[in-house]
Amino acid sequence: MAKKLKTSGNLSVEDLLPGDILAFKGNPNDDISKLIMKFTGSDVSHGAIFVQKQDNVLAEAGGDGIHARRMKDNSKAREAYVMRHNKAGKYGVQAVVPIAKDYVLQDLPYPYSDLILLGLILIFKHPITNQLISRVVVEFLCLVAAELKTIIEKEKTPGKHTMVCSSYVYQCYLDASKKNPALNR
């Protein structure tokens, strides 16, 4: 479905295409970033979608909601892994771009409640004493998290679909694949 663009070395912002997924390495000086890295067992703590080559724009869900911002091509830029869908053409995955931009235009808030629920799930995802109990606890927490999210969204953000960064990237590709089934392969 996706491939790493390079296994080592540097990519320039100029090398990116619309629809490329950026998985940013965590910031060891940021508490939330450190927690995400610890509980996921990864060096990544944030995700985004590159949406526009002209002006080098990416779309992301961050602390202030879902927004677009310009990327800088400099040595101080945050290091990221870049994934490109295997169906990307010369101009990227264009089907994802209007969907990502539409979510940006909706001015969706960031669902901080999701971070707490995600944290609980990740804590219990690591094996407790036996795998069956661990799996049951995680499944239960997923159900509880989904229900709590629905309740919180109805109260705080009625009619809006709030997302953390990884959910945002996933949702954009899911929505695009409904209109373009070739993205599922």
Nearest to 22 by CA among 98, 75, 92, 99: 92
pLDDT above 70: percentage of residues in the chain? 83
Residue 35: which region, alpha, beta or left (left: phi > 0; alpha: psi -120 to 50)?
alpha
Are 25 and 45 in contact by the 8 Å Cβ rule? The answer is: yes
What are the residue ranges in the chain where pLDDT is below 70? 1-9, 73-76, 115-130, 134
Q: Confirm whether pTM is higher than 0.95.
A: no
User: Looking at residue 177, what is its pLDDT?
Assistant: 93
Nearest to 36 by CA among 128, 162, 164: 164
Are 57 and 51 in contact by the 8 Å Cβ rule? The answer is: yes
User: Looking at residue 95, what is its pLDDT?
Assistant: 94
User: Looking at residue 108, what is its pLDDT?
Assistant: 86
Which tokens in the block code for residue 111?
Answer: 């669902």
User: Looking at residue 19, what is its pLDDT?
Assistant: 95
